[in-house]
Amino acid sequence: MIKAAIFDLDGLLVDTEIVSLKIYQELLSEYGYSFTKEEYAKHYSGKTEKENIKRFIDTYNLSVSYQECLDEVLNIERKLISQGVELKVGVKSLLVYLKENNYKVALATSSTKDRAISILKGHDILSYFD
């Protein structure tokens, strides 16, 4: 009998793919480049931030260090997340069902703890996680 559910945050509970796309679009626009959804999907989606930043610096010949680029990405991300990240359809009702039926609920994510908690609090669903 199943007694617990483990959720991933990015892409499953919340739509962060669009946030990543917007981060990279804003970053590259600062250097005079446009960045398409197709390019994101083909070369950047599902990759680590480290891989993506290195690819940006190399592909677009950015005149910044890895750390400077990472700092820019994180600043843009904080700004966008503070504006809200869309919750996936059905998430809240599923979490309510699981809690009402005494399932343990956990979160597994590669996001930082602060980022994950901020997003969950923003949707008032942190209390559903054990």
From the list 11, 35, 14, the residue with the least C-alpha distance to 23 is 35
CB atoms within 10 A of CB 16: 22
pLDDT at 29: 95
Sign, Cα dihedral of 37, 38, 39, 44: positive
pLDDT recorded at residue 96:
97
Give pLDDT, residue 3. Answer: 94
67-110 pLDDT tens trace: 999 999 999 988 988 888 889 999 999 999 999 999 999 999 88
The one-character DSSP state at 127 is: G
Give the span between the Cα atoms of 11 and 8, in whole angstroms.
8
Write out pLDDT tens, residues 7-51: 999 888 998 888 889 999 999 999 999 999 999 999 998 888 899
What are the structure tokens assigned to 20, written together?
A: 């990543």
pLDDT given for residue 43 in this prediction: 94
Q: What is the pLDDT of residue 13?
A: 94
DSSP structural state of residue 86: P
What pLDDT shows up at residue 33? 95
Contact between residue 42 and residue 52 where contact means Cβ atoms under 8 Å apart: no
* Cα pseudo-dihedral 87, 11, 81, 46, rounded to 10: -170
